[in-house]
């Protein structure tokens, strides 16, 4: 897959899916399927229109490129019907990590997952965007928590190593950063 920048899950949802063979729009990305245990991207769930209305799946290996404005696949035949693959373990064990609370192994709550950072070149989840509450988000911005070390994903919580927290960085947003930036000018 082309493109080396990290993408946010929220920016991938809603992208058109374009056929590289004939340029047709085949559908829209509705979700991304992750293998949580391995922190890998497995597939994209699509919603299609036209005479073949329904949900389709594109596996990562069939994606030619993912850009800011579209996901490109080689051929419409690369799309599979969701009914044919829904019984596979990765689809049965799918959990939504948006809105899940994140804790350290020492028992400290870091915040709530608001977005997922994905490296599509490597086909993996690289981190999560964490909210520590609306007021703090507005004032300081959100933090990016890299998924390094051992990470345990549950339906109600995520448990991370302390080394992940040590590597956590701010997104550069927030009123404080805007005000501090203006003072320097």
Position 185 in a domain: no
Domain termination site, one of 92, 116, 139:
92
**CATH code (residue 52):** 2.30.30.240
Task: Please give the pLDDT value at position 121.
Answer: 80
User: Do 123 and 63 share a structural domain?
Assistant: no
User: Do 73 and 38 share a structural domain?
Assistant: yes
Residues of the chain with pLDDT under 50: 1-4, 182-185
Domain termination site, one of 46, 68, 92:
92
H/E/C letters for each residue in the chain?
A: CECCCCEEHHHHCCCEEEECCCCCEEEEEEEEEEEHHHCEEEEEEEEECHHHCEEEEEEHHHEEEECCCCEEECCHHHCEEHHHHCCCHHHHCCCCCCCCEEEECCCCEEEEEEEEEEECCCCEEEEEEEECCHHHHHHHCCEEEECCCCEEECCCEEEECHHHHHCCEECCCCHHHHHHHHHHC
Task: Please give the pLDDT value at position 101.
Answer: 93
Domain termination site, one of 37, 64, 92:
92
Task: Please give the pLDDT value at position 139.
Answer: 64
Predicted TM-score of the model (pTM): 0.77
Task: Please give the pLDDT value at position 28.
Answer: 94
Task: Please give the pLDDT value at position 155.
Answer: 82
Position 148 in a domain: yes
Residue ranges making up the domain that contains 145: 101-180
Task: Please give the pLDDT value at position 35.
Answer: 82
């Amino acid at each position: 897959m082309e493109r080396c920048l990290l993408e946010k899950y929220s920016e991938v949802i809603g992208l058109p899916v374009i056929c590289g063979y004939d340029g047709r729009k085949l559908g829209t990305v509705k979700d991304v399927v992750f293998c949580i245990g391995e922190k890998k991207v497995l597939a994209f769930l699509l919603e299609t229109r036209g005479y073949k209305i329904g949900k389709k799946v594109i596996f990562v290996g069939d994606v030619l490129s993912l850009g800011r404005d579209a996901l490109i696949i080689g051929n419409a035949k690369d799309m599979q019907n969701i009914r044919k693959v829904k019984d596979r373990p990765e689809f049965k064990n799918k959990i939504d990590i948006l809105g899940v609370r994140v804790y350290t192994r020492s028992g400290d709550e870091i915040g709530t997952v608001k977005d997922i950072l994905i490296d599509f070149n490597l086909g993996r989840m690289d981190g999560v965007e964490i909210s520590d509450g609306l007021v703090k988000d507005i004032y300081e911005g959100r933090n990016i928590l890299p998924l390094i070390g051992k990470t345990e994903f549950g339906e109600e919580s995520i448990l991370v190593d302390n080394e992940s927290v040590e590597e956590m960085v701010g997104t550069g947003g927030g009123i404080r950063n805007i005000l501090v930036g203006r003072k320097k000018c």
